[in-house]
Structure 1
Amino acid sequence: MKSINLFVVSLIIIGLFSCQEKKAENEIRWKFGNFEKLTYEYHQISENKSSMMNFGKQDGKMLSKATGLLIVSPKEGGKADVVFKNVEMSLLSVSEEGDTTQTMKQSSPDFFMQDMDELGKIAGNLNQQTELLAQTLFPIPSEKLKVGQTSKIPISMPFNMLGSIINVTGFNEVKLESLEDAKAKVSTIIDVSEFEIPEDANVNYECYLKGSSNYTFDTTQGYFDTIDLNITMVLKNLASDNQDENDSLAGQEDLLKKLAEKFGMEVNTKISLRLKEVK
């Protein structure tokens, strides 16, 4: 009888460990111990609409393209470095008829983000380019999700608006769409649009970052297979109601003021990552 009881207890313990192992495999987490290096094909295209590019006329528009490699390299301490390598950049102007003309093409120096943790977070001060990528490229929920559940990741993004740094806050809402054979399909909604302007500052700005992404994640191996990210960043100086568009420019100070009043920028960016090699 004792041997039977011990056998039953053993089965229960084994079952518990099996459930825990399965639960761990289903979590969306980087597992840096499972690989030495990941190499992704990186593609980015941005459309920049700016009223400053064609002051006094129809808004100007520029396209920029970037292609290269993104490398994730684990290191000691449960962290990893993210390196953008062999990036080729092209600038194209867009005419009113919609025709595009390449104005520049060049290779960019490799740049990197250090010490990414298993939740995709990067500590420390970043520049505007890497800050945007660090907070939107690898969205990982802080808790384990069931299919259909969502989790909000807080985001704080600094916007430089005519010399003023505005801290705009919001979230990236992550939703687990499906989970089959340890492959998770995930969608996100990005909304970073909350900010305050000091009462004594006589300005009226519009600043926000909005978008969405879809990705597939291997929960067993602990890495992303594909990522598709679409984001729109807007910075605008909203003119006051009593602004007279017909005022003549009397001098340099008036010109600078008019330029500031006309300032506006909208950048629409699409980024895609495709896993190329695992070592």
Structure 2
Amino acid sequence: MNKILFGLSLLILTGCVNSDNKSEITEFTLDFSKPKKYIYSFSQTSTSKTQWKKNDQFDKTKSVAAGNLNIRIKENNLADLSVTDLETSLIIYDSKGVEIDTVSNTAPVMVIQNMNQNGTFENNEHNFMFDLIFPLPTKNIKLGESDKIPMQIPFNVNGSKLFIKGHNTLRYNGIETIDGKQCAVLIGEIDISKIEIPEELESTHKSSTTGNGTYYFDLANKYFVGSDIEVKMTTASEKKNEKSKNDISFGNTNSESKIKIRLIKIEE
């Protein structure tokens, strides 16, 4: 089973500003012209229910994570994405929903290197993270128009590497003033649910990640100011044939996550 953790909050949203020119085409790219570092607060709260055997009760856990998300622009018009100072807590509940244990930890620093100005990485397997938290349209769009961002999540089946595929459908929804900055508001509808299981694996697998996101992009300065994301993930695996030599255990997981990201400061 794959569990997804991501992981904030300083900006105050103020009144909306309507665009008078809906025909204006907008290009959504990040400005990597000068080395600098964008530092964001990052927080995520997730609840998960897991069933390891049929007819068993679900084990319930809650995870909370808070730290910094950083985009460091380098001199070669590329950037590194990192998560630092991430404090995590895992809360475990008994069958009656009573908290029985809490495990706290400091996560190691995670760095994903060489992101392009369009939000893609040299290793495209890393694109999923950015397309979830800070997605960019793949083409120039007008106010009210949409663009589908292809997404895929790696899915390991007993050593076989598969992918769950889908989209984050972005709609250019309007303009809002956030902390004095005029920001484009992108509304995302996330649906990553298509998976093809080779018959040689002799097992059944289902996975679905759905949700929505609201993303705030500074039009003048070409960077993200923040985002709010909610996703639901369900996965289920079961042997198709009891005589199969592939040792794949039964599992069923349902999880819900809320992610909040806000810009703290920019270091020149």
Both proteins in one fold, TM over 0.5: yes
Which residue does 1:139 correspond to in 2? 135
Which residue does 2:263 correspond to in 1? 275
Question: Which has the larger displacement, 30-39 or 61-70?
Answer: 30-39
Give yes or no for contact 1:44–1:67 (8 Å, CA) kept in 2: yes
Distance 1:45 1:216 in 2: 21
Q: 1:265 aligns with which of 248, 253, 262?
A: 253
Equivalent positions of 1:60-209 (< 5 A) are 60-124=59-123, 132-179=128-175, 182-209=182-209
TM-fit CA distance, 1:135: 3.5
CA deviations over 1:26-67 (Å, ceiling 9, x no partner) = 432211236711111110112221112x77631111111111
Change (3 A) 1:55 1:238: closer
Which residue does 2:6 correspond to in 1? none
Change (3 A) 1:66 1:55: farther
Higher share in strand = 2
Give yes or no for contact 2:232–2:256 (8 Å, CA) kept in 1: yes
TM-fit CA distance, 1:148: 1.2
SS at 1:29's partner residue? coil
CA deviations over 1:193-243 (Å, ceiling 9, x no partner) = 122222344322112222211111101111111111122232212576x99
Change (3 A) 1:131 1:216: closer
Higher share in helix = 1
Distance 2:175 2:124 in 1: 35
SS at 1:220's partner residue? coil
TM-score (norm 2): 0.79
Change (3 A) 1:102 1:214: farther
Equivalent positions of 1:41-60 (< 5 A) are 41-52=41-52, 57-60=56-59
CA deviations over 1:131-158 (Å, ceiling 9, x no partner) = 6423312210011221111000111222
How many aligned positions are there? 239
Distance 1:202 1:270 in 2: 35
Change (3 A) 1:180 1:68: closer
Distance 2:158 2:60 in 1: 20
Which residue does 2:217 correspond to in 1? 217
Question: Which has the larger displacement, 56-65 or 82-91?
Answer: 56-65
Change (3 A) 1:45 1:138: same
Distance 1:101 1:66 in 2: 19
TM-score (norm 1): 0.76
TM-fit CA distance, 1:98: 3.6
Distance 1:161 1:235 in 2: 12
Give yes or no for contact 1:83–1:111 (8 Å, CA) kept in 2: yes
TM-fit CA distance, 1:97: 4.2
CA deviations over 1:51-104 (Å, ceiling 9, x no partner) = 12x776311111111111111110022211111111101110134444435421
Distance 1:102 1:42 in 2: 24
Question: Which has the larger displacement, 82-91 or 196-205?
Answer: 196-205
- Counterpart residue identity of residue 132, structure 2: T
Give yes or no for contact 2:163–2:195 (8 Å, CA) kept in 1: yes
Give yes or no for contact 2:93–2:100 (8 Å, CA) kept in 1: yes
Question: Which has the larger displacement, 29-38 or 263-272?
Answer: 29-38
- Counterpart residue identity of residue 83, structure 2: F
What stretches of structure 2 of length at least 5 have no aligned partner? 1-23
Give yes or no for contact 1:35–1:278 (8 Å, CA) kept in 2: no
Q: Percent identity?
A: 27
Give yes or no for contact 1:34–1:222 (8 Å, CA) kept in 2: no
Which residue does 2:234 correspond to in 1? 234
What stretches of structure 1 of length at least 5 have no aligned partner? 1-22, 244-252
RMSD: 2.8
